[in-house]
Amino acid sequence: MEFNDLIFPSPKPSYDYTLSGLYYIDEEIQYHRSRSLIQQNELKTYDGTIKVTLNQSDSTRQMSQNRQTKRIVTLFQLEENLRNGIIVYFHANAEDIGMCKSLAYLLAAELEMASICMEYPGYGIYHGQSSSDTIIKNAYQLIEHILNNLKVHESKIIIMGRSIGTSIAVEMSIRYKKIRTLVLLSPFTSLCDVIKENSFNWVSKLVKERFRNLEKMHKVHCPTLFIHGIKDKLISYQHSIQLMSKCSGFTHLQLFEGMTHNSFFIDLHIISPIRQFLMKIQS
- Do 82 and 112 meet the contact criterion of CB atoms below 8 Å apart? no
Q: Where are the alpha helices (DSSP H) in the chain?
A: 4-7, 37-40, 56-68, 101-111, 132-148, 165-175, 191-198, 201-206, 213-216, 238-246, 272-282
- Would you give per-residue pLDDT tens digits along the chain (283 residues)? 444 445 567 789 999 999 999 999 986 644 343 333 333 433 333 333 323 333 444 444 445 454 445 689 999 999 999 999 999 999 998 899 999 999 999 999 999 999 999 999 999 999 888 888 899 999 999 999 999 999 999 999 999 999 999 999 999 999 999 999 999 999 999 988 887 887 755 555 555 667 899 999 999 999 999 999 999 999 999 999 999 999 999 999 999 998 999 999 999 999 999 999 999 998 6
